[in-house]
Amino acid sequence: MSYFRENIDAMRPYVPGAQPAPGEKVIKLNTNENPYPPAPGVMEVLRTFDGDSLRRYPDPMAREFCGAVAGVLGVPADRVIPGNGSDDILVMISRACLQPGKKVVVTVPTFEFYGVQANIENATCVPLTCDPAESTELIANENADITFIASPNSPTGTLTPIGVLDDLAGRLDGLLVIDEAYADFANDNALTLAAKHDNVVILRTLSKGYSLAGLRMGFAIATPEILDGLMKTKAIYNIDAVACAAGAAAIADQDHKNANARKIIASRQTLGDELGELGFTFPPSQANFLLARPPGGNAAEIHEALKARGILVRYFQQQAILADKLRITVGTDDQNASLIAALKEIMA
Ligand SMILES: Cc1ncc(COP(=O)(O)O)c(C=O)c1O
């Protein structure tokens, strides 16, 4: 006997990257967090927050935050919806659009949470093992109810050219969700497509570029019609008052975010060069991580050996296509140097 729907019993849950216990000292390069602190304005909000105001419910639409987003991105405020992390918005989209008989297309490998959401709604998920830039025809021909493309993609780090996404959006009848969680580290983004195409949803997060994975803030940009639909599936107060104020302060300080992104992009280059010297291969990354294949393909073994030395990188043990690869978050230069030193020792 089960309390759950059959598809819930049958599905495989999303497995998040390991989080160390409080106080545990590790070099954490496994979940694409930002190694630099959030903007000073965020710290100020947290220091001075009026605790008494927490007696009241927060603004269900997080207008302070959405107004800051709209101002910085130059989009109308009615085209922004807030999420408790961008994964919250993925849940809203899936709840609003999917049911048995509906079809989701994902390109593999990608963020597994898209497929998990399709499974929860008992929709059909079609995983296409391809790079969207080379397989537009294949993806367009599936004409799914929702097509999810992460760009830059995780775990590969590759950016899908905006022209390809533009073409795809024009050919699909269903939604094209362009997940730009890592856009802050890329040299281009697809934001203009949300104004150009009625079926495009752009997803962003404060978890990566803004160093706020623990705060849980994300947002989507889409037409007011799409956002009206998503609103119906949004938890009433999905954004707490602290996150709303701190998130608005983070968005307001683009200089801080951009300066950190520039540091990470420079470190990504150095780390890539050093991994290359050790014989690792990886696709060109426009994100804050590299999907690196060790020369011997012994990713699982290296993952364990790094872990034993207190260095966490991501190994996707459930995905055969990733069995010989490690996703390595770009850390500070010191953290990256420790990783390289450990790899030299392990591979000697
Ligand atoms: C491609 C992609 N999208 C979305 C997310 C979810 O981010 P968050 O819920 O922290 O905004 C992640 C997290 O790692 C990701 O890699």
CATH 3.40.50.1700 describes domain 6-37+255-347: no
Q: State residue 318's pLDDT score.
A: 86
| For the CA of 206, the nearest atom of ligand 1 | 11
Q: What's the CATH architecture for 40-253?
A: 3-Layer(aba) Sandwich (3.40)
Q: State residue 65's pLDDT score.
A: 98
Q: State residue 272's pLDDT score.
A: 98
For a substitution probing ligand 1, which of 33, 154, 203 has the most ligand atoms within 8 Å of its CB?
154
Tell me if 243 sits within 8 A of 42, measured CB to CB: no
The residue type found at 120 is I
Q: What's the CA gap between 174 and 57, in Å, rounded? A: 35
Residues with CB under 6 A from ligand 1: 32, 85-87, 111, 150, 154, 179, 181, 205, 207, 213, 218
For a substitution probing ligand 1, which of 179, 204, 286, 314 has the most ligand atoms within 8 Å of its CB?
179
Helix (H, G, I), strand (E, B) or coil at 277: helix
**What is the location of CATH 3.90.1150.10 in the chain?**
6-37+255-347
| For the CA of 205, the nearest atom of ligand 1 | 11
User: 159-189: string of b/e by CB count within 10 Å (b at 16+)?
Assistant: bbebebbbebbeebebbbbbbbbbbbbbeeb
**What is the location of CATH 3.40.640.10 in the chain?**
40-253
Q: Which residues of the chain have pLDDT under 50?
A: none
